Amino acid sequence: MSVNNSGFNTKLIHGGGYKDKYGSVNVPIFQSSTFEFETAEEGARCFLGESEGYIYTRIGNPTINALERSVAELENGFGGIGTSSGMGAINTVYMALLSKGDHMISSDAVYGPSRVIIEEHYSRFGVDSTYVTTSDVENIKKAIKPNTKVLYIETPANPTIEITDLKACSEIAKENGLVLVVDNTFSSPYLQKPLDLGADVVVHSMTKFINGHADIVGGMVVAKTKEMYKKLRSMMIALGCNLDPHQSYLVIRGLKTLAVRMDRAQENAMIIAEYLEKHPKVEWVRYPGLKSHPQYELAKKQMDGPGALISFGLKGGFQSGKTLMNNVKISILAVSLGGVESLIEHPASMTHSKVSPADKAKAGISDGLVRYSVGIEDVKDLIWDLEQALEKVK
């Protein structure tokens, strides 16, 4: 049996196929910016792509490449491209796939900067975009224009935990000649494999679940085909937003425990979601593992688990959100998500404070919305923490 047809957990530990003459059990950090050519002829072959030899770390590096192979294998893609951050991955994809006069369709609830860069910056180069509620795919069909090139989906979405049907999106994309790009940060390949559902490209903020320890910022692009991989890789090299060897080493280390971390975190999340749903000060809870989630059935079909992100609404609105933030003792008041520690955030006063009330309403971000990224602590302690903080909320 080879690593290729082994199970997900085995691939997490043995994937990437790194081997060296020293028999290193772990992938070493190749902290070198440049690599010596044995001869001028070998240098020439490297540049022509006829040799596997390394040239320069922005183009490729053994530590970075080991991680790229690993994540690509887990996503069932042709190849991975490591980037300096999740935004580096997203910019690589936008820059490679969108040209002057092109149009992109995306969800109205996506990671803020994924939208801001299109509307504020790519628009300067003539790229147009439309944001719709993609959990109803009819809205996507209505938004398609003759110049639409990219359909960019994040599911579950940020911070509303709304779910979009990826199979339906891939059918729409195929019928209309669009490239389907999916931000898979919230699920990780352990819980969702967009390429298997028909997507062409997956992007990740590895800062979140893939690394899982809140100690690096990094990103990854995975392409389904060789052609797409080559196009995206050359763009990353041109932009210079490569991952670095030391970061890659830490992510390789974090990635090994992705499944055990996710199992524990989502077990905790389910218990907390049920607790919150019964709490008198909580108006609503959005978690794909709850039957009350509007796309509960779709989540069960397209994901292998509901994940570790919960959003919930406080009856008391804005002030209650702030009071809760100021009173948690174990959960950490911080943005980001997907780490071993539980993080709590209040979008209306924090990440989305600059978004207009109209856009917030359209994206379903109410003043009392709280986003909770559940960690792997003892769940009884997390519930104790929420209980004592909610007691102080009006």
Residues lying near ligand PLP in the complex (CB under 6 A):
85-87, 111, 154, 158, 183, 185-186, 205, 207-208, 217, 219
Hey, what are 77's tokens?
A: 């893609």
- Closest contact distance (angstroms) between CB of 90 and ligand PLP is 6
- Closest contact distance (angstroms) between CB of 236 and ligand PLP is 14
- Closest contact distance (angstroms) between CB of 85 and ligand PLP is 3
- 19 has catalytic annotation: no
- 183 has catalytic annotation: yes
Sign of CA dihedral 4, 5, 8, 9: negative
**Which CB sits closer to ligand PLP, 114 or 170?**
114
C-alpha–C-alpha distance, residues 338 and 70, integer Å? 19
Q: Which residue in this structure is represented by tokens 């389904």?
A: 224
Question: By Cβ distance, which residue is nearest to ligand PLP?
Answer: 86
DSSP 157: P
**Which CB sits closer to ligand PLP, 220 or 270?**
220
Q: Please pick, among 58, 230, 231, 300, the residue that the annotation labels catalytic.
A: 58
**Which CB sits closer to ligand PLP, 85 or 92?**
85
Hey, what are 62's tokens?
A: 């053994």
Q: By the 8 A CB rule, do 114 and 139 touch? A: no
DSSP H helices, 144-223, are: 166-176, 188-191
For the chain, the C-alpha Rg in angstroms (whole number) is 21
Peptide bond into 159 cis (omega under 30): yes
- 286 has catalytic annotation: no
Hey, what are 28's tokens?
A: 């070493």
- Closest contact distance (angstroms) between CB of 254 and ligand PLP is 14
Q: By the 8 A CB rule, do 359 and 250 touch? A: no
- 208 has catalytic annotation: yes
Integer distance in angstroms from the first to the last C-alpha of the chain? 59
- Closest contact distance (angstroms) between CB of 295 and ligand PLP is 17
Q: Please pick, among 115, 149, 193, 208, the residue that the annotation labels catalytic.
A: 208
Q: Please pick, among 18, 54, 94, 111, the residue that the annotation labels catalytic.
A: 111
Q: By the 8 A CB rule, do 195 and 75 touch? A: yes
- Closest contact distance (angstroms) between CB of 86 and ligand PLP is 2
Q: Partners of 242 in the beta sheet? A: 83
Residue 326, SS3? helix
Q: By the 8 A CB rule, do 258 and 11 touch? A: no
Q: Please pick, among 102, 165, 183, 244, the residue that the annotation labels catalytic.
A: 183
Active site residues: 58, 111, 183, 208
